[in-house]
Structure 1
């Protein structure tokens, strides 16, 4: 059976805590990143340092009405109970949510590109995007050519990253023609990560969530 989505309500519940098997404790907080503009309603998720502006990443097939939508990051502060508080907290972004409607999601489905079929996936497999620069993002498909100066360690994307002191974010970056994107650290770093579409009881899209596998599965959490 392909990978299934966990209960993301706990990811976005400030103060929720959990323990890792080797001892550290994670405490979740929710950070508002601002509003992402989606003039076409077609959502793209990728590693912006690698894929932005290449045209290689298609939008998800699940589309929303054009507009501006809030983005929230579930940020984990990791501590060890036996150690004093660190001057620089150990922070990791566990998941990022693009909020389409303020209604609870009751069902989850994988965010797919054209031609992807979940029936082709094996046990615990998923469709996701690859990260090679420790960063993920959301943006509108129409914005792909709006960041021409973003190449390597140059341009507004890198400047925003530098301005945070290389913290995981999230942070909004403005491009040309009124477009923007929201970028964020990808959990533990490089890898491949799924995005899920949440729907309400009427089947309407409420959110897109990218999961960076920082919060252990519920069955691994202590009772």
Structure 2
């Protein structure tokens, strides 16, 4: 029996087009702002690293935000992370970034306009037949407002994938402050400005990625309804649901 998604969560035509085009090298995702003659082109898909999710529970959120410091100063616990309601098989998964380029000129300087179009957690290589919003464990589908967008916000323009079972340990380096700013942290520096933090006691990881203003979270479903991919598009690319 083939999967039939919930219409309240289904991606609309614009979002579906973007999610598929973003990971297709050579695809055009529009044009450069203020220059309709220069296309924004997908230049490639890069495998940044792998991530261990032993609990099968996934956080897709900012690893910290500006409010964390003030909560820390007052001795208050930070907000809970945005854990996805969907569960995935415990395992090790690829993290990939789709890059685009849209050259432009700013104050007389020519820039390549290379940015991250989307970040993907590859759960399987099975074809995706439909996309839906990635709800959190706190979301009640019965109470969703029309055109609800499953997303997180990030003051620091950073998002992450992380094992929810090890969240406290994995996020701790991002929630340690010195003089009002995040303290230097011991993390693995990856391509594209990403970082990885490991918890060897639980064999779990956290991997950061660029997410300007936050990110919109989408689940790619196979014909049997399994999740094959979890994709985050930049908060600036609020593709219509």
CA RMSD of aligned residues (A): 3.1
Which structure has the bigger radius of gyration?
Answer: 2
Deviation at 1:33, TM superposition (A): 1.4
What residue is the counterpart of 1:47 in the other structure?
62
1:25 aligns with 2:48: no
CA–CA separation in structure 2 for the residues paired with 1:100 and 1:85 = 41
What residue is the counterpart of 1:107 in the other structure?
130
For residues 102-156 of structure 1, the C-alpha deviation after alignment (integer angstroms, 9 at most, x for no partner) is 0121112211122413454445331311111110110111221223333214213
Deviation at 1:217, TM superposition (A): 5.6
What TM-score do the two structures reach when normalised by structure 1?
0.77
Deviation at 1:56, TM superposition (A): 0.8
* Structure 1 counterpart of 2:205, from 180, 187, 194: 180
What residue is the counterpart of 1:96 in the other structure?
119
CA–CA separation in structure 1 for the residues paired with 2:115 and 2:215 = 15
Contact 2:25 2:45 in 1 (8 A): yes
What TM-score do the two structures reach when normalised by structure 2?
0.72
Contact 1:58 1:141 in 2 (8 A): no
What residue is the counterpart of 1:221 in the other structure?
none
CA–CA separation in structure 2 for the residues paired with 1:217 and 1:197 = 14
Quickly say closer, same or farther: Cα 1:56–1:21, change in 2 above 3 A: same
CA–CA separation in structure 2 for the residues paired with 1:13 and 1:76 = 10
CA–CA separation in structure 1 for the residues paired with 2:236 and 2:100 = 8
For residues 21-70 of structure 1, the C-alpha deviation after alignment (integer angstroms, 9 at most, x for no partner) is 5215322121111111000111101111337x946114211101110011
Question: Which shifted more, 145-154 or 89-98?
Answer: 145-154
CA–CA separation in structure 2 for the residues paired with 1:183 and 1:154 = 15
Question: Which shifted more, 61-70 or 103-112?
Answer: 103-112
CA–CA separation in structure 2 for the residues paired with 1:175 and 1:137 = 15
- Which runs of no fewer than 5 residues in structure 1 stay unpaired? 219-223
- Which runs of no fewer than 5 residues in structure 2 stay unpaired? 1-7, 69-76, 177-181
* Structure 1 counterpart of 2:25, from 8, 11, 14: 14
Quickly say closer, same or farther: Cα 1:22–1:93, change in 2 above 3 A: same
For residues 154-208 of structure 1, the C-alpha deviation after alignment (integer angstroms, 9 at most, x for no partner) is 2135x73xx87xxx5334333442322211111xx22x43211111111111011
Runs of at least 4 residues of structure 1 off by over 2 A? 1-7, 88-91, 117-125, 145-151, 168-179, 213-218
